[in-house]
Homo-oligomer: A and B are copies of this chain.
Amino acid sequence: MAKLDFSPIADTTRRAEIVALLRRAILTGQLEPGQKLNELRISEQMRVSRAPLREAMRELVQEGILTSIPYAGTFVIDVTAKDIIDAYSLNKVLDEFAIELAWPQRDQRFFDELDRRHEAVKQATRALDTTRQIETALQLHGLIYEWADNSVLLETWQRLTSRLQMYFALHQRARNEPVPAEDVHETYVALLKGADMRAAQRHAREHIDLDFEELLGYARGLEKRASKN
Contact = CB atoms under 8 A, between A and B. Distances in A.
Interface of A: 11-13, 15-16, 51, 54-56, 58-59, 61-64, 70-71, 82-83, 86-87, 89-90, 93-94, 97, 150-153, 155-156, 159-160, 163
| Smallest CB-CB A-B distances: 8 pairs | A62-B62, A86-B150, A58-B58, A86-B152, A93-B97, A55-B58, A13-B70, A87-B152
Contact of A64 (B16, B51, B89, B155): B155
Given A61-B62, A62-B62, A83-B151, 7 more contacts: A64-B155, A83-B152, A86-B153, A87-B152, A90-B97, A93-B97, A156-B159
Residue in A11, A12, A151 whose Cβ sees the most chain B Cβ within 10 Å: A151
10 contacts: A13-B71, A15-B58, A54-B55, A56-B58, A59-B62, A82-B151, A83-B151, A86-B153, A87-B152, A152-B160
Copies of this chain held together in the complex = 2
Contacts of A51: 51, 54
A124 B121 CA distance: 54
A132 to B, nearest CB: 25
A89 B153 CA distance: 9
A150 B58 contact: no
A198 B61 CA distance: 37
Contacts of A90: 97, 150, 152-153, 156
A150 B103 CA distance: 28
Contacts of A97: 90, 93
B89 A150 contact: yes
A199 B13 CA distance: 52
A124 to B, nearest CB: 27
Of the candidates A89, A152, A159, the one having the most CB atoms from chain B within 10 angstroms of its own CB is A152
A151 B160 CA distance: 12
A159 B62 CA distance: 10
Nearest to A87: B152
Nearest to A56: B58
A179 to B, nearest CB: 25
A64 to B, nearest CB: 7
Contacts of A156: 90, 156, 159-160
